[in-house]
Amino acid sequence: MSVVTIERKVLEKNDDVARRNREMFAQHRIFVINLVSSPGSGKTSLLERTLEYLRTSVRVAVVEGDVQTDFDAQRIAKLDVPVVQIVTNGGCHLEAKLVQDSLSAFDLEKIDLLVIENVGNLVCPANYDLGEAMKVVLVSTTEGDDKPLKYPGMFHNASVMIVNKIDLVPYVNSNPETIKRNALQINPALTIFETSCSTNKGIPEWCEWLKQQTKKSGA
Amino acid sequence: MHEVSVAENIVEIITQHVDRNSLNRVRSVAVTAGTFSGIVPDSLEFAYQAITDSTELAKSFLVIGQIPFVIRCRECSTESAGEEGIMQCPQCGSADTTVVSGKELLIKEIELDDIITEPV
Q: How far apart are CA A106 and CA B98, in angstroms?
A: 38
Pairing mode of beta strands B61-67, B26-34 = parallel
Fold of A12-216: Rossmann fold (3.40.50)
Question: Mean per-residue pLDDT for B87-97?
Answer: 93
Closest CA to A31 of A150, A115, A129, A96: A115
State the CATH number of the domain containing residue B21: 3.30.2320.50
- CA of A87, closest CA in chain B: separation in Å? 16
Q: Does A80 touch chain B (CB under 8 A)?
A: no
Residue B17: per-residue pLDDT: 96
Distance from CA of A55 to the nearest CA of B (A): 35
Cα–Cα distance for residue pair B30/B18, rounded to 1 Å: 14
Give domain status of residue B94, yes or no.
no
Overall size of chain B counted in residues? 120
Judged by DSSP in three states, A152 sits in helix
pTM of the complete model = 0.93
DSSP per position, A51-101:
HHHHTTTS-EEEEEEESS-SHHHHHHHTTT--EEEEE-TT-SS--HHHHHH
Query: What is the C-alpha to C-alpha distance for residues A170 and A188, in angstroms, rounded to an integer?
Result: 27
Instruction: State the pLDDT at residue B78.
Output: 95
pLDDT of residue B120: 60
Q: Say whether B105 and A14 touch across the interface (CB within 8 A).
A: no
pLDDT at B114: 87
For A196-215, write each residue's pLDDT tens digit. 999 999 999 999 999 999 99
Type of residue found at A203: I
Tell me the pLDDT of chain A averaged across its residues. Answer: 96
Selection from A114, A113, A120, A186 nearest residue A155 by Cα: A186
pLDDT (mean) for B11-30: 96
Interface residues on B facing A, Cβ-Cβ cutoff 8 A: 1-2, 5-6, 9-10, 12-13, 17-18, 27, 31, 36-38, 84-88, 95-96, 105-114
- How many structural domains comprise chain B? 1
A1 to B96: CB separation less than 8 angstroms, yes or no = no
Question: Is the ipTM of this structure higher than 0.85?
Answer: yes
Q: How far apart are CA A132 and CA B50, in angstroms?
A: 32
| B91 belongs to a structural domain | no
- Proportion of chain B above pLDDT 90, given as a percent: 90
Residue B115, pLDDT > 80, answer no
Instruction: Please check the confidence at residue A56 and state whether its pLDDT lies above 80.
Output: yes
Contact (CB<8Å) A1/B113 = yes
Q: Where are the domains of chain A?
A: 12-216
Whether the per-residue pLDDT at B28 is higher than 70: the answer is yes
The reported pLDDT for the residue numbered A218 is 78
Is B42 inside a domain boundary? yes
Residue B46 is assigned to a structural domain of this protein = yes
The order of strands in the sheet holding A83-87 is A83-87, A60-66, A113-117, A31-36, A134-140, A160-164, A191-194
Q: B117 falls in which pLDDT band (50, 70, 90)?
A: low
Does the pLDDT of residue A71 top 70, yes or no? yes
Residue in chain A nearest B112 by alpha carbon: A2
Host domain of residue B34: 3-68+101-112
Q: Name A142's Cβ contacts closer than 8 Å, sequence gap at least 6.
A: A165, A168, A172, A174
pLDDT tens-place string over residues B35-60: 999 999 999 999 999 999 999 999 99
